[in-house]
């Protein structure tokens, strides 16, 4: 049972380049999330999805797009990377069907640097 | 609107001494509260959660937290620190039974715990 897997683990981009971060979970979870973590800022929600084919904006969605074409995958795209998007990105998933258990399962993160 | 404040950005303790990581929250409704731990270069892991049952919540690795509504606090404690406890700790608040589904989990800015030998 791999849990939540993020690829890639590290990436360096030049300003203006595009890329896609992949999150895959094998727990059949309905809910998936993308967060960014910056020093002293905690985690901030970028986008989230409550099911296949649905996405919604979080706290800091600008400059990012997402897709959830398959239940197990949640993709985060940067169309034109900016230095302000240098961050560590975490994917998480959970399910509402374990009572009120809102435990999030996190991936190990993607460290992105935009030069 | 809900919010969460971790009162210390960095706490340093000696091995074997008690740990106290402070968290205050603001919420319009009965909140769910969580503590997550992040070890270096790892994702976050749930330590414990409060969801309106017992006010004293026991978590993994000997940690516990007490929900105090009158003080709007949810401080994390451990009687005796271990070197392996060195990590960053996040207090999280959500409103509603499925706050996570609405994307309204609010993370504190984190407290980095250092443990000296």
Query: What confidence tier does A61 reach under pLDDT thresholds 50, 70, 90?
Result: very high
How many Å apart are CA B25 and CA B4, to the nearest integer?
4
Calpha distance A75→A89 (Å, rounded): 12
- Chain A CA closest to residue B43: A108
The predicted pLDDT at position A39 comes to 86
Q: Which chain A residues contact residue B44 at CB under 8 A? A: 43, 90, 92, 104, 106
Please choose, from the candidates B47, B106, B23, B37, the residue with its C-alpha nearest in 3D space to the C-alpha of residue A35: B106
Comparing alpha-carbon positions, the chain B residue that sits nearest to A50 is B101
The confidence band for A65, taking pLDDT boundaries of 50, 70 and 90, is: very high
Report the pLDDT value the prediction gives residue B102, as an integer from 0 to 100. Answer: 55
Range B51-54 contact pairs with CB under 8 angstroms and sequence separation of 24 or more: B51/A100
Q: Is A107 on the interface with B (CB under 8 A)?
A: yes
Each residue's pLDDT expressed in tens, for chain B with a length of 117 residues? 678 999 999 999 999 999 999 999 987 777 888 999 999 888 899 999 887 778 899 999 999 999 998 999 999 999 999 999 999 999 998 865 444 555 568 899 999 999 999
Distance CA A76, CA A61 (A): 11
In this predicted structure, what is the pLDDT of residue A103?
A: 79
Note whether B50 contacts A: Cβ–Cβ < 8 A.
no
The per-residue pLDDT for range A8-48, each reduced to its tens digit, is: 999 999 999 999 999 999 999 988 999 999 988 889 999 99
Contact A87, A36 (CB under 8 A): yes
pLDDT at residue number B88: 95
């Amino acid at each position: 049972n791999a849990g939540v897997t993020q690829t890639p683990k590290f990436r360096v981009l030049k300003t203006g380049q595009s890329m896609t971060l992949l999150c895959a979970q094998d727990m059949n979870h309905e809910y998936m999330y993308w967060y960014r973590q910056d020093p002293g800022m905690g985690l901030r929600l970028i986008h989230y999805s409550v099911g296949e084919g649905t996405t919604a904006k979080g706290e800091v969605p600008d400059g990012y797009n997402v897709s959830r074409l398959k239940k197990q995958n949640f993709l985060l795209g940067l169309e034109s990377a900016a230095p302000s998007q240098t961050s560590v990105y975490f994917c998480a998933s959970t399910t509402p069907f374990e009572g009120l258990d809102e435990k999030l399962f996190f991936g190990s993160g993607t460290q992105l640097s935009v030069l | 609107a809900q919010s969460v404040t971790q009162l210390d950005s960095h706490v340093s303790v000696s091995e074997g001494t008690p740990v106290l990581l402070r968290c205050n929250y603001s919420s319009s409704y009965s909140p769910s509260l969580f503590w997550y731990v992040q070890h270096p270069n790892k994702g976050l892991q749930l330590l414990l959660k409060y969801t309106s049952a017992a006010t004293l919540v026991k978590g993994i690795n000997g940690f516990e937290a007490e929900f105090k509504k009158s003080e709007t606090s949810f401080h994390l404690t451990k009687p005796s620190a271990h070197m392996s406890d060195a990590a960053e700790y996040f207090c999280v608040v959500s409103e509603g039974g499925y706050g996570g589904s609405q994307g309204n989990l609010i993370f504190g800015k984190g407290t980095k715990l250092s443990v000296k030998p």
